[in-house]
Amino acid sequence: MLESGNGLSCYAKTQAACQNGQLVLAFERRLSPRTARARFEIADTVHLRVAAPRRQIDITYCSAATGKPRQYFVLYKRVPAAEKRYLPYPLRAWGVSAQGHLVEVPVKSLRCLNNDYGAY
């Protein structure tokens, strides 16, 4: 869930396809007030195929050199990295533009949190 109440979601035919198969990255705009039951519409999508070994996609917080951390979709090389606070090998990333579209952003400018940090 983004600060605005909007959301990022990843859709696939099966849970396994999320890490190895075809998936859809979606930006969902919230239609209802925060105090009401959440209702969303899909505002933009990116279709992606993840078929390379050890590639994984995640929704995580990343920070650029300027600005506060925001949520991004990040495709990264999966390595045993539970002891690392940040993803060591981000390959591609998508964020939401001011116009409400998913846009690819350069990963060299991002530092992305590892959601598995400390999990093992």
Q: For position 68, what pLDDT does the model report?
A: 86
Q: Minimal CA–CA distance to 45: which of 4, 1, 16, 7?
A: 7
Residue 58 lies in a domain: yes
pTM exceeds cut of 0.75: yes
Residue 120 lies in a domain: no
Residue 1 lies in a domain: no
Cα-Cα-Cα-Cα dihedral of 110, 112, 6, 118, to 10°?
A: -170
Residue 64 lies in a domain: yes
Pairing verdict, β 40-50 and 70-77: unpaired
Residue 97 lies in a domain: yes
Q: Are the beta carbons of 56 and 16 closer than 8 angstroms?
A: no
CA 31 to centroid of chain Cα atoms: 21
Q: For position 105, what pLDDT does the model report?
A: 94
Domain count for the chain: 1
User: What is the percentage of the chain residues whose pLDDT exceeds 70?
Assistant: 92
Residue 2 lies in a domain: no
Residue 39 lies in a domain: yes
pLDDT band at 3 (very low <50, low <70, confident <90, very high): low
Q: What is the mean pLDDT of residues 8-26?
A: 86
Q: For residue 14, how many other CB atoms are within 10 A of its CB?
A: 8
Q: For position 82, what pLDDT does the model report?
A: 60
Residue 20 lies in a domain: yes
Q: Which domain holds residue 74?
A: 7-112
Q: What is the mean pLDDT of residues 82-86?
A: 78
